[in-house]
Amino acid sequence: GAGRGPTALAAASIDAPPAGYDTQRKVLEVVRYPHPALRRKNAEVEAFDEKLHMLAVNLFDTLKAEGVGIGLAAPQVGVNLRIMAYFEMRGEKAVGKLLVNPWITKKSPEVYSATEECLSFPGIKGPVDRSEWIEVEAQTVDGKKRTMRLEGDEARLFQHEYDHLDGVVFIDHLQKEYLEGQLLKL
């Protein structure tokens, strides 16, 4: 197909964000571990413009296309910005949430363990301890500030995606013995 020859491949860098990620609507490729984008610190978003809106749409389109995930952080599609998208269940309905420049301002001292998995680590699952509740500040796609208290599954999901924004992946939380058995699957 178009753009697939050796020249196109040579021009594409593993370190560059995907072409058109914020200018055209498309499903983006989820990068797999050990892609370098997963370990980078991520820049805060400064421009709340149509490019940010397009990236937001593309994150949700990608999440829906993957079919198995409920959350996605921008670094997982090779874009090193502090943005996360996820679906929160409200009864039977999944409601999309896009959070820009999120920060955890307070965490519960109580933690609980539950099995997590990640689109960037297909086939890998493991128990991760997370805070039971968190208080967060974030901006909307339009730059409006929001403060939220998240609990239970949504708090867990937020913390998982938030880690991606700091270059932390869920396997970093797994016990060494457990992790060694899982890594054979990579």
Question: Does the structure show a pLDDT above 90 at 102?
Answer: yes
The pLDDT value given to residue 115: 95
Confidence label for 186 from pLDDT (cuts 50, 70 and 90): low
* Lowest-pLDDT choice from 5-14, 41-50, 64-73: 5-14
Question: Does the structure show a pLDDT above 80 at 10?
Answer: no
Q: How far is CA 119 from CA 14, 109, 138, 139, 161, in A?
A: 18, 28, 23, 24, 11
Model-level pTM? 0.89
DSSP string, 53-108: HHHHHHHHHHHHHHSS-SEEEGGGGT--BSEEEEEEEETTEEEEEEEEEEEEEEE-
Mean pLDDT of the chain: 91
Decide if 59 contacts 83 (C-beta within 8 A). Answer: yes
Give just the sign of the alpha carbon dihedral 76, 139, 64, 52. negative
The CATH T-level fold of domain 13-183 is Peptide Deformylase (3.90.45)
Q: Which of 154, 161, 177, 180 is catalytic?
A: 161
What is the rounded CA–CA span in Å between residue 125 and residue 122?
Answer: 9
Give the residue, 23 or 177, on which the prediction is more confident: 23
Confidence label for 3 from pLDDT (cuts 50, 70 and 90): very low
Q: How far is CA 154 from CA 13, 148, 158, in A?
A: 35, 11, 6
Which tokens hold the place of 50? 């149509």
> Measured in Å, how far apart are the chain's first and last C-alpha atoms?
29
The pLDDT value given to residue 178: 79
161 is catalytic: yes
The domains of the chain are located at 13-183
**Mean pLDDT along residues 131-142:** 98
